[in-house]
Amino acid sequence: MIKKALEAGINFFDTANMYSVGTSEEFVGRALKEYAKRDEVVIAKKIGVMPYSPLAKGRLTRDWQETTHRSETDQVQKSQYDPYSDADRLVVERVAAIADQRGVPRAQVALAWVLQKEPITSPIIGVTKLSHLEDAVAALSISLTPEEMAFLEEPYIPHPYIGFQ
């Protein structure tokens, strides 16, 4: 996946040691050594304003009532999102409406929304499938209208940072 990201023009990689039980730095380092020139990539642990989980752990990519194993079992996710479920449901529905109108996946709309916010420098996306990378790259080409941005923002309630336990 790192090779595909490089081919798509992505040159920023976050290697915080909390990812992959502390092995992400080793994994990313080996892959970049094989596929990139060191002076052409940025390797960071945290810089700028980089929102974590811009897809709300997948909630913005599927219908509200649809669940996953993770959404059923992840207690951090439950504590972070359940108290805001009424407002979040509206945001999910609005992301879906814009995606349907534009004929693009919901993930692309949600990422475009985050990318158009100041002072975001780069959202932290959890790429575990090639389709995640493809949606992230495609989101760079989506420019939401001011009306679409306002439509998404109106029901949104910022969530406090919970962190890893």
Nearest residue to 96 (alpha-carbon basis) of 86, 87, 107? 107
Residue 102 and residue 33 share a domain:
no
Question: Can you state the percent helix, strand and coil of the chain, rounding each to 5?
Answer: 55, 5, 40
> How many domains is the chain built from?
2
Over the stretch 37-76, which tens digit does the pLDDT of each residue have?
888 888 876 676 778 788 988 899 999 989 888 888 888 7
CATH number at residue 165: 3.20.20.100
Give residue 39's domain range: 1-47
Helix axes 130-139, 106-115, angle to 10 degrees: 50
Under a CB-based contact definition with an 8 Å cutoff, are residues 104 and 135 in contact?
no
Over the stretch 68-100, which tens digit does the pLDDT of each residue have?
888 888 887 777 788 888 999 999 999 999 999
Residue 59 and residue 15 share a domain:
no
Least confident of 25-29, 33-37, 114-118: 25-29
Q: How confident is the model at residue 127 (pLDDT cuts 50, 70, 90)?
A: confident
What lies within 8 Å, CB to CB, of 19 at 6+ separation is: none
Q: How confident is the model at residue 165 (pLDDT cuts 50, 70, 90)?
A: very low
Mean pLDDT of 133-160: 94
The pTM of this model reads 0.74
